[in-house]
Amino acid sequence: MNVIFLTGCFDSVEINNRSVILEFAIDKNDKNDKKEKPYEITYSIPDMAKLSGTESLALDMKTNIPIQAKTIVDSLDILETKTRNTITFSHVKVIFLGEDLLKDDKLFKQTLDSMTRGRQFARNIPILAVNGRTEEAISIKNTQQPIIGLYIMNYFNNKERPLAYFEPQLLGNFIRDMQDTGVALMPIFKLPKSEDFVQSKEPTEIEKSNNEINLKASTENEQMEVGNTSFEISGAALLKNYTFVEYLDKNVVRGKLLIDGHARDVPVITNYKDSPITYVLEHTVSSIDFKTINGNFCTVINIAAKGEIAEYTDNNIFNQTAFKEIKLLIADEIYRQTKITLDKAKELNIDFLKIGDKMFRKEPNLWKDYKDTWEQNGFEEMPIYVNINVDINNTGILM
């Protein structure tokens, strides 16, 4: 007797019975019952049929479900009662963290502990600080991609995008930085004006009907409008020992990227004899050394910049003498940008450049002399020098 086993794939059935969370936002509850329920979490559930079909840019692509809860786990239990399908977090693209949450160090630490203790959330999920309420961020109107999580995934994964004003941060890396040095950064999702977002709430049947009527009444121009983003991702939220310190502006982050050797396709603009010159810094390589200079122990940051001249107005300025002068001018401008960052770090007396961590790894014996006073005044009083070498690969065909 021959036995035949019939096998099949049940994934299609399972997917049809799952609600895939692509993005969610966590904030401190500022509404009623906030003492018993300190969390306000907004979960976004996309319409998978529209997401994979011809309506992938439709306005009503997702449903936002706001939940007030005592803990993260409690919010998941409540979420299950508000959806017909099983919830899955296997494809989360971004987590928004609100300003009020970041400013409550106890609640923020509890949030990170809850998300990493279980297996629901992967550690490679990008995280973003929101300079306001997270329900506003997750409800942003974005005609490029209505699912903001997918937009951010593409935004962060695009290796051809210049890296000049922000640096992506992952949940696991943030926690690792906090555990290793007590200091960590995450990029800022800067909210637009109030008229550029819609409130995050479940619409009533009347509101749904009105929305359908309004949608049908939209003009063709409005329907075809693409490329509009009313928000900005730049700068960084600085946290120390899980406590929010302040927002660093994009110029400070730009200098940090240069110091770390992570800057990519950054325009550096200077002037030579009243002629503007644009140098596109394609990439940098950096290192940090520790030396004794004039009898003082110092940190030396070495930056090697490689790029090309993209714009200039005078074709006769690239003789040998002028070429050297231009390289020095570009180096001076790069130094000016790094100095903005170094001055901010010294002002705050917070080593968000991880110089102490590099000393610990490269010069462990020297670190023993600094580790007990590094946070008090060791970093603040440490002289820091920056050496910059500029390499110009191309000056254009008119030279």
pLDDT, tens only, 23-82: 999 999 988 787 899 999 999 988 766 666 544 555 567 889 999 999 999 999 999 998
Same domain, yes or no: 266 and 160: no
Q: Is 358 helix (H, G, I), strand (E, B) or coil?
A: helix
> Does 378 reside within a domain?
yes
- The first and second tokens of residue 7, run together, are 């096998």
Round the average pLDDT of the chain to a whole number and report it: 84
Q: How many domains does the chain have?
A: 2
Inter-residue contact 26 to 101 (CB < 8 Å)? yes
- DSSP line for 152-176: HHHHHH-TTS-BSS----BHHHHHH
> Does 2 reside within a domain?
no
Angle at 86 between CA 83 and CA 88, to 5 degrees: 110
Query: Whole-angstrom Cα distance, residue 266 to residue 92?
Result: 30
Same domain, yes or no: 231 and 261: no
Same domain, yes or no: 324 and 176: no
| Predicted pLDDT of residue 328 | 96
> Does 1 reside within a domain?
no
Which of 220, 248, 276 is the C-terminal boundary of a domain? 248
> Does 399 reside within a domain?
no
Q: 395: which residues sit within 8 A by CB, 6+ positions away?
A: 308, 309, 312, 318
Q: 331: which residues sit within 8 A by CB, 6+ positions away?
A: 305, 388, 389, 390
147-178 pLDDT, tens per residue? 888 888 888 888 888 898 999 999 999 999 99
Same domain, yes or no: 27 and 169: yes
Which of 210, 232, 248 is the C-terminal boundary of a domain? 248
Same domain, yes or no: 385 and 267: yes
**Taking 70 as the threshold, does the pLDDT of residue 204 lie above it?**
no
> Does 376 reside within a domain?
yes
Query: Whole-angstrom Cα distance, residue 41 to residue 43?
Result: 6
**Taking 50 as the threshold, does the pLDDT of residue 301 lie above it?**
yes
Query: Whole-angstrom Cα distance, residue 155 to residue 30?
Result: 31
Query: Whole-angstrom Cα distance, residue 252 to residue 353?
Result: 11
| Predicted pLDDT of residue 3 | 52
| Predicted pLDDT of residue 53 | 53
Instruction: Please report, rounded to a whole number, the percentage of residues in the chain having pLDDT higher than 90.
Output: 57
Higher pLDDT among residues 323 and 109, named by residue: 109
CB atoms within 10 A of CB 284: 21
Same domain, yes or no: 162 and 303: no
Same domain, yes or no: 240 and 173: yes
Q: Is 62 helix (H, G, I), strand (E, B) or coil?
A: strand
Mean pLDDT of 321-350: 95
Inter-residue contact 65 to 87 (CB < 8 Å)? no
pLDDT band (50, 70, 90) for residue 146: confident
**Taking 80 as the threshold, does the pLDDT of residue 302 lie above it?**
yes
Inter-residue contact 302 to 390 (CB < 8 Å)? no
> Does 3 reside within a domain?
no
Strand partners, 87: 19
Higher pLDDT among residues 69 and 9, named by residue: 69
Q: Distances from the Cα of 229 to the Cαs of 112, 189, 190, 232, in angstroms?
A: 29, 12, 11, 8
Higher pLDDT among residues 211 and 357, named by residue: 357
> Does 99 reside within a domain?
yes
Mean pLDDT of 114-123: 86
Same domain, yes or no: 186 and 272: no
Alpha helices, DSSP H only, in the chain? 11-16, 48-51, 72-81, 99-102, 105-117, 134-138, 148-157, 171-181, 205-216, 220-224, 250-260, 320-348, 355-362, 364-370, 379-381
- Amino acid identity of residue 156, one-letter, is F
Query: Whole-angstrom Cα distance, residue 357 to residue 104?
Result: 26
Q: Supply the range of the domain harboring residue 157.
A: 11-248
Out of 91-95, 300-304, 340-344, pick the least confident. 91-95
- Amino acid identity of residue 285, one-letter, is V
Same domain, yes or no: 166 and 35: yes
Same domain, yes or no: 148 and 285: no
Which of 231, 248, 265 is the C-terminal boundary of a domain? 248
**Taking 90 as the threshold, does the pLDDT of residue 236 lie above it?**
yes
Query: Whole-angstrom Cα distance, residue 241 to residue 183?
Result: 6
Residues in the chain: 399
pLDDT band (50, 70, 90) for residue 199: very low
Angle at 141 between CA 138 and CA 143, to 5 degrees: 125
Q: 158: which residues sit within 8 A by CB, 6+ positions away?
A: none
| Predicted pLDDT of residue 260 | 96
**Taking 70 as the threshold, does the pLDDT of residue 250 lie above it?**
yes
- Give the domain CATH number at 279: 3.30.300.210
Same domain, yes or no: 259 and 138: no
| Predicted pLDDT of residue 59 | 57
| Predicted pLDDT of residue 222 | 33
| Predicted pLDDT of residue 156 | 87
**Taking 50 as the threshold, does the pLDDT of residue 85 lie above it?**
yes
> Does 266 reside within a domain?
yes
| Predicted pLDDT of residue 227 | 42
Same domain, yes or no: 353 and 271: yes
Out of 14-18, 44-48, 76-80, 362-366, pick the least confident. 14-18
- The first and second tokens of residue 211, run together, are 């929305």
Higher pLDDT among residues 42 and 16, named by residue: 42
| Predicted pLDDT of residue 14 | 58
Q: Distances from the Cα of 56 to the Cαs of 115, 147, 295, in angstroms?
A: 30, 9, 65
